[in-house]
Amino acid sequence: MPDKPVPFNPLDYDNLGESVANALLSRPVVPMTDLNRFEGAGLYAIYYIGDFPPYASLSQQNLNDNFQMPIYVGKAEREGKRTGQRADSDTTYTLYKRLREHARSIQQAKNLDLADFRCRFLIVDDIWIPLGESLMIRDFQPLWNVIVSGFGNHAPGGGRISGERPLWDMLHPGRSWAERHPKNQRTVEEILGLVQLYSEGVSIEKLQRDFNIRVDE
């Protein structure tokens, strides 16, 4: 007996998330060297089109203005969101600030060029931001989210040094705060091996299970 069809529910969790993700993917792509200040909180996707050899297969998917595979997706929520507080004004530039922070990280990396990066972004009401991000990570499994973690990390407050150097900073050295941390137990060669397996299509679930890799959100 065939399975009973499930009626489409536009308010289903996944369908709501997909609508937010699709809205982001319909936005124009902007060079990360040309970001102009704008208001709002929301979601973003970053794309790579450069010639860093380990990322060749990823870059190929984004050439000729055919941006198919983000290297990283993320969110920027309104200030005070995590504490339940709202800023004195409804005006926020948190999404712009987050993208500029990422741009500075890329500029500091010794083996990356900011001119090789593009982004698209979407201003989103607060309630939909985490949902949209989780669906984008699930659907695209971007390299810097699921394998080479740490791109979105901040310098620890108060000059503290805690934990190993992120994988991202092992592969792309240059951020001064990260270089004060002890080297990660994974060597650069091991990280490159993981990138190669990712490029060959080995499932993310298998890589994360076999190599104990965490998702970077």
The DSSP output letter for 183 is P
Of the pLDDT bands very low, low, confident and very high (cuts 50, 70, 90), residue 58 is very high
pTM for the model: 0.89
Per DSSP, the three-state class of 155 is coil
Which region among 63-72, 88-97, 107-116, 144-153 has the lowest average model confidence (pLDDT)?
A: 88-97
Of the pLDDT bands very low, low, confident and very high (cuts 50, 70, 90), residue 9 is low
Tens-place pLDDT, residues 155-191: 876 555 668 999 999 999 999 999 999 999 999 999 9
Give the residue carrying structure tokens 């941006």.
67
pLDDT of residue 88: 46
CA distance 6 to 40: 37
CA distance 24 to 40: 14
SS (HEC) of 45-85: EEEECCCCHHHHHHHHCCCCCCCCCCCEEEEECCCCCCCCC
pLDDT above 90 for 99: yes
Which region among 43-52, 74-83, 135-144 has the lowest average model confidence (pLDDT)?
A: 74-83
Which region among 25-29, 54-58, 69-73, 205-209 has the lowest average model confidence (pLDDT)?
A: 205-209
Sign of CA dihedral 31, 58, 24, 96: negative
Name the residue ranges covered by the structural domains of the chain. Answer: 13-211
CA distance 199 to 51: 15
The DSSP output letter for 36 is P
